[in-house]
Amino acid sequence: MRLRCAVLDDFQQVATEVADWSPVAGEVETVSFAEHFGTEDELAAALADFDIVVTLRERVAFPASLFARLPRLKLLVASGMRNTVIDYAAAEAHGVTVCGTASTSTPPVELTWALLLGLARGLVTENDALRSGGPWQQTVGADLHGRHLGILGLGKIGSRVAHVGLAFGMHVSAWSQNLTKEYADEVGVRLAASKEELLAGSDFVSIHLALSDRTRGLIGPAELALLKPTAHLVNTSRAAIVDQDALLAALHEGRIAGAAVDVFDVEPLPADHPLRTAPRLLATPHLGYVSRANYETYYGQAVEDIRAFLDGTPVRRLG
């Protein structure tokens, strides 16, 4: 009797296309789910008959209560090698092996610039107008060359975003709680004296911080009030870093020129969520990690993880 493997949140139904699952096909039946299970009850019901689960990034939490409801589960594979929504102690207590995969920072870097450029040049507005017989040239684009780019978080993603900004001829500064002048100098950017200075002096602000107790709500009403009326904010990191109500208020009141976001407090975003109709907003459905190369890595290494587990020699273990 073959084991059963569930692939969660396979919205595009490509998990079994971008990777070769033949190494485990004889022993594992794979079922992908295009719909998102938003509650623990839905997850427990859907996964009750599965021995293996493949989950994308941190989209689905696996707390102790869920592990307790999945007695058949033996292997959990999460894309990436860092996951803060899995209770590793509970997984071990229930005999569940947790493994990860490699991931690359290239796709979120590229999407960050797609959003920033689209926002600066009004691409969605102009495209919609052109295709619907609307006005010819109704926006005046914001220049990048010579403008100030402020980066919150200068890690793997933030530093690469900085290099692109420098290539555009922008003045780039960065800040985070632990950022040193030595590392900022190494990347080639200026270390801002404070978060407040960075926000007040930037024409574009891009967020690249991990979500933690220190960064949750880091950009609230007071911080948004520091931005210039002509400034643009880009968030491809985590929604909770920015106070969502404060951001909505700033957009509706026109206190900033615009924002671009790829992350939300609830995902998938409900149909009636206020961000769907907010003015001055360019939004994408969490596409930061969604690229063919990344998917080939995620699912290809998920197959490797499953094969190794079946052989009794798990690899890339997490926890």
Closest listed residue to residue 159, CA positions, set 140, 144, 179 = 179
Distances (CA, A) of 314 to 36, 73, 97, 167: 28, 15, 8, 43
Could you tell me whether strands 28-32 and 171-175 are parallel, antiparallel, or unpaired per DSSP bridges? unpaired
Per the listing, tokens 């914001």 go with 142
What is residue 96's predicted lDDT score, i.e. its pLDDT? 98
Residue 193, Cβ neighbours under 10 Å: how many?
11
pLDDT tens-place string over residues 198-208? 999 999 999 99
How many CA atoms lie less than 13 Å away from 290 in the CB half-sphere? Answer: 15
Q: Which helix (H) or strand (E) holds 52?
A: strand 52-55
pLDDT surpassing 90 at residue 245: yes
Q: What is the mean pLDDT of the chain?
A: 97
pLDDT tens-place string over residues 276-296? 999 999 999 999 999 999 999
Mean pLDDT of the 123-139 span: 96
Q: Binning pLDDT at 50, 70 and 90, where does residue 138 land?
A: very high
Q: Dig out the tokens for 189 from the structure.
A: 């950017």
pLDDT tens-place string over residues 71-117? 999 999 999 999 999 999 999 999 999 999 999 999 999 999 999 99
What is residue 1's predicted lDDT score, i.e. its pLDDT? 82
> How long is the chain?
319
Quick check: 250 and 205 in contact, CB under 8 A?
A: no
Handedness of CA 40, 46, 100, 217 (dihedral sign): negative
Distinct helix (H) and strand (E) counts, the chain:
12, 12
What is residue 290's predicted lDDT score, i.e. its pLDDT? 95
What is residue 87's predicted lDDT score, i.e. its pLDDT? 98
Q: Annotated catalytic sites, by residue?
A: 238, 267, 286
Quick check: 295 and 102 in contact, CB under 8 A?
A: no
What is the DSSP code string of 264-297? -SSSSPPTT-GGGG-TTEEE-SS-TT--HHHHHH
What is residue 301's predicted lDDT score, i.e. its pLDDT? 98
Distance, CA of 191 to CA of 158 (rounded, Å): 13
What is residue 55's predicted lDDT score, i.e. its pLDDT? 97
Mean pLDDT of the 223-241 span: 98
pLDDT tens-place string over residues 22-48? 999 999 999 999 999 999 999 999 999
What is residue 44's predicted lDDT score, i.e. its pLDDT? 98
Q: Dig out the tokens for 70 from the structure.
A: 């999945």
